[in-house]
Amino acid sequence: MKKKNLEIITYGNDILRKIAAPVEKIDQDVVNLCREMIQSMKAAKGIGLAAPQVGVSKRIIVVLQDPERAKALTIINPEIIECEGEIKGEEGCLSLPGIIGEVNRCARVLVRGLDKKGAPFEIEGTEILGRVFQHEIDHLDGKLFIDRFSFVRRKLINKKLRQLKQETLAKLTGVQ
């Protein structure tokens, strides 16, 4: 039996703007969600995914730790405990298809969280890995990468954002 990929929520859905709740207990449902998130992220050709992006307001992220070998990492209740430097780079998002732009991020972050067995761990992220950690943790706080765009860049994408929101609302209400 082929597993079904989770639907990726797009811009305009309110869940993307809500602060996700901490995971209180890591049970089989949470482990299954993590596995399905990894599968869905890979199917969508993404390198990171946060639970709110699949309609679950929980503090869980999955990240391709090594995009070359497609090794995925799950972090439950992640938090950035150290951040240093600054680096600018281009980002996109599975929840905002067709939109990319330059975003300033910390050059290095140290993230603390729990694995799928509930064991605490820390992991350092620099370059693309650090950027993905920050991007996905932003999702858990109801923030989108477009919030970090310059005023001018945000003005330039306004039409596309309105169109995405309209498509999302049509999907949610069933009205085209």
Q: Which residue reads 């706080």 in tokens? A: 141
Going by C-alpha positions, the residue among 75, 95, 64, 100 that lies closest to residue 164 is: 95
Measured in degrees and rounded to the nearest 5, phi and psi for residue 160 equal -65, -40
Phi-psi region of 2 (alpha: psi -120 to 50; beta: other; left: phi over 0): beta
Residues labelled catalytic: 136
Q: How far apart are CA 126 and CA 6, in angstroms?
A: 29
Q: How far apart are CA 144 and CA 149, in angstroms?
A: 10
| Residues in Cβ contact with 25 at an 8 Å cutoff, skipping those fewer than 6 apart | none
